[in-house]
A and B are shown apart, each in its own frame.
Chain A
Amino acid sequence: MKKYLQIFKISFEEEFAYRLNFILWRIRNVMQIFLTYFIWSTVYSDPAKQIFGYDRTKILTYVFGIMIVRALVLSARAMDVSNDVASGNLSNYLTKPVNYFKYWFTRDISSKVLNLIFATVEFILLFLVLKPPFLFQTNIAVILAFLVSIIFAVIIYFLILFLLSSIPFWIPEIGWGSHFLVTVVIVEALSGSLFPINILPQGLQSIILATPFPYLIYFPVEVYLGNISGWALFGGLMVAASWVGVLWIFLNVVWQKGLKVYQSFGG
């Protein structure tokens, strides 16, 4: 435990070594929120308007909720694993007395803490500038369910990143290509970062809800809004938990097979 605490500290400090990079990355996050915010603010310019199951307060809370949930879930370092595998750098870790998964999970947590701090500051600043109506959730049970859904989301994203990073065991040259396709394009669209899944037709919603992606952003934010409760909430949490189990088993199989073909090119 102590060594992972040290990894956390080092990783946290490492983020400050590239301050300009980090600040520019956060500026980008804020700009991405603008488009989403203003689209929905225009659609719901009439405060009494009810469409897609949201009113102005709920949809703008959804947009602001994305900022915090994204910082918690999508801030991660584990995408660098593909580089370790492709470059042979993985060998350095295999010979050390650390669990490689725990090592990267600790680094992810460190990244999330730092991004959460910045996202909170940005949240407050944007809140003061844009003055949106906001739903402050006061129901303790809902907040607890929200936190549980966030934990599942964090683990699901970690497992997805590791699975993608395993591809270079077999095809080293598509490390970044696969991350672009899945984490930049598919996760952005299907996680609910750009739009809530329930604006789509029922059939399409059902297909997307059967994948792990909406459990990263859409599901936690919907839980916070109180739009999912009772058996639907329980069912959703069970689906998220099942994805954690399925992805974990799949990752273990893929990783073990990957290690067998790993040749440490350049390492």
Chain B
Amino acid sequence: MSDIIICLFSGSGYDRVAQGVVGAGRRMANQLNGRLHAVIVGAHDAELNIRVASVADAVVTADQRDLAQYQPELHLNAITQICREIRPSAVLFGNDTYSQESAPRLAHRLGGAAAGDCLDLITHDGAIRVKRSVYGGKAIATIELKRRPAVVWLRARAFDPVATASASVTTVRQTRLNLQADDRTRIIERKSEAAGQARLEDARVIVSGGRGLGGPEPFDDLQELAAMLGGQTAASRAACDSGWCPPSWQVGQTGKKVAPGLYIAVAIRGASQHMAGISDAKSIAAINIDADAPIFKNCRFGIVEDYRKVIPLLKEKLAALHK
């Protein structure tokens, strides 16, 4: 029982999250000398199936009609059934909404143990350990899972994709599950606020605003600035709680965990909870009126000035430099 399952919900293609999960699964299976099974649940995605099949030893897709659109109870039942057949020692998920919702319940059903938002996976004398950030990013804990399977959802971008996919592509097996209808909960409406936009988690540049902006209006400026840099706009929890921007913009321990090449924090103080969401950013720049703001302890370069004075001029300079 040293086989590993990676579980993906189709719908986002072979994105960075999927690549991170696949990479983590491949390395873990190699370390444990087990087979890597990929379970792909949801509407059929041929491209995703093929990409995963070039890395995994076995691919099972559950793409029957009743699973085309995610429903919490139904999809959990489907994944549980498949896992019971394979009897893995670990099941790995990404950190998307559906994965986070499913993982602890799956662990319970399989008699396993779960851990979430993991930054590292360690196999150690037969034990499975994970590292995760705790106390709002102030500390790192190493946790040993005492039951099998270990069900782990990963901060997927912290895991490298596989370096080279193998030339041989595994056969993709389409499974037909006998699922009982479960109408206790039913998703009746879905709305994507970032329609047509790349996901915040995949942004190369992020311009983010905080409480210091004082209201919703400055976000227009931030959006313009982000557009000039080919980036996206985000916000701190304080700004989202104030209703200045949608909750899906929230970055931090309790919002999105992002990993851009450049993160520009505008009027964000940089409490550890916020920093926990940007620990994977390559470079952080800050604009803040307070030189003692904690953000300056974590950024590569910064400017101590009122953002109101900085942003208009900054846009001019960037426009000039771009030419």
Q: Do A and B bind each other?
A: no
Binding site for A on B (CB under 8 A): none
